[in-house]
Copies of this chain bind each other. A is one copy, B any other.
Amino acid sequence: MAGLMKPADAGGLQPLLRKLNSLGFDDEDELRCLLDSVSLQRGIPLGEDIVGAGDAPRRLTVLLAGVACLYQTMESGERQIYAFYYPGDFCDLHRYVWSERAAETAVRALTGCSIGTIEYRDLDEAIERHRKVARAVWLATMLEASILREGLTNVTQRPALQRVSHLLCEQLHRRRAIGIDSGVVPLTQIELADAAGLSVIHVNRVFQDLQKLGVLSASNPTIEVVNWERLAEIANFDSRYLTMPATLSKWEVRTE
């Protein structure tokens, strides 16, 4: 992977590179074509909508730094968080198709963020020309679906303690996968509640339990997992739904 990093990529595209790599996209020349069409946007402040409710979707957004979430505000005023995004993740693949429902769903920066955008026409062209780009976006979509399925069982099957634990596990795992190895989960209790389908108050109580269990540190308001294993145990966490199993080698074998 390191082999793919070039000085020219130092603009902050490494996360995207890593992501494409994990999706089995390892051809350097093809990569270049896609990377060249990315335009950067830095310094997006916390709380801002990266992909707004209103704007017409003409470009794809890739998160390059920070944390974001895909959410929807219900008529009741409740907020439902569908997904958290980390550097390298595509934030609005769904918009490529559902320009309409745009009105209600948006992507919000949960910390300061940097993003890259790719005009649809460039993406289209890349997909047309390079089969692996098409595969990469497909796989990215599959991964999101896999996370959604797990989210569904999380919400329907697990009680609050396990549910929150599972959510935390997932964040830790995904962060580690992109090289962030700390136990800190840069989210608020509110955000976790909106993702878990629990009230903030209850999440707070769960947090206290997790602290008593020695899983979370008392370092408020920062959420920090100090006992990784115990957490995974509580959550009954099985990371397979997150990991693309050596897809690339498989593709190669089958298709070339």
Contact = CB atoms under 8 A, between A and B. Distances in A.
Interface of A: 72, 74-76, 78, 80, 82, 93-94, 96-101, 120-121, 124-125, 127-128, 131, 134-135, 137-139, 141-142, 144-146, 148-149, 151-153, 155-157, 197, 236, 240-241, 244-245, 247, 254-255
A137 B142 CA distance: 10
A148 B247 CA distance: 23
Given A124-B254, A131-B127, A141-B138, A153 B98 contact: no
Contacts of A255: 124-125, 128
Copies in the complex: 2
Contacts of A241: 98, 101
Contacts of A98: 146, 240-241, 245
Contact of A153 (B80, B93, B135, B138): B80
Given A98-B240, A146-B94, A74 B153 contact: yes
A153 B93 CA distance: 19
A197 B151 CA distance: 12
Given A138-B137, A152-B148, A236-B75, A120 B254 contact: yes
Contacts of A74: 153, 157
Nearest to A133: B134
Contacts of A139: 97
A245 B197 contact: no
Contacts of A197: 155-157
A135 B99 CA distance: 17
B153 A151 contact: no
**9 smallest beta-carbon distances between A and B, as pairs:** A156-B197, A148-B148, A145-B145, A138-B138, A134-B134, A141-B141, A80-B153, A101-B240, A124-B255
A125 B72 CA distance: 39
Given A78-B157, A134-B135, 19 more contacts: A75-B236, A76-B157, A80-B152, A80-B157, A96-B142, A97-B139, A98-B146, A98-B240, A98-B241, A99-B245, A121-B254, A125-B255, A128-B255, A131-B131, A141-B145, A144-B145, A148-B148, A148-B152, A152-B152
B240 A100 contact: yes
B156 A155 contact: yes
